[in-house]
Amino acid sequence: MTKPLALIVEDDPQLSQIFTLTLCELFETESITDGSLALTRLLEVVPHLVVLDINLPGASGAQILHFIRADARLNTTRVILATANIRQAEDLQDEADIVLLKPVSIGQLRDLAERLI
């Protein structure tokens, strides 16, 4: 049985690695550090989960979230926003499945991701 795919879209290499290690037992994980690359990848795959930073180079997390919600292929994709920006998180909370404020508890991330499987 194959694991569902989780895309981790985070430009901070340390956080990206932490998120990847946290989710690798539950998901096949793929890390992307640039918003434009994430949009390109989303044209190719339908991930079960996207862990999404808001402030990214290339394209913002908000643009990526809007893209996911507008693409019928991705209607089952769940999105966890992980951000330190409370105002941006509030603006996007209705489109995201879950909003986590940084610093993110890895236990909380794992538990919430597991519920979304």
Phi then psi for 38, rounded to 5 degrees? -65, -45
Asked if residue 1 has pLDDT above 80, the reply is no
Q: What is the pLDDT of residue 30?
A: 98
How many structural domains is the chain composed of? 1
For 30-60, write each residue's pLDDT tens digit.
999 999 999 999 999 999 999 999 999 999 9
CATH number reported for the structural domain that contains residue 58 in this entry:
3.40.50.2300
What is the Cβ-side half-sphere exposure of residue 66, based on CA atoms within 13 angstroms? Answer: 8
Task: Give this prediction's pTM.
Answer: 0.94
Which helix (H) or strand (E) segment holds residue 45: the answer is none
Helix/strand/coil for 104 = coil
Confirm if 70 and 97 have CB atoms less than 8 A apart.
no
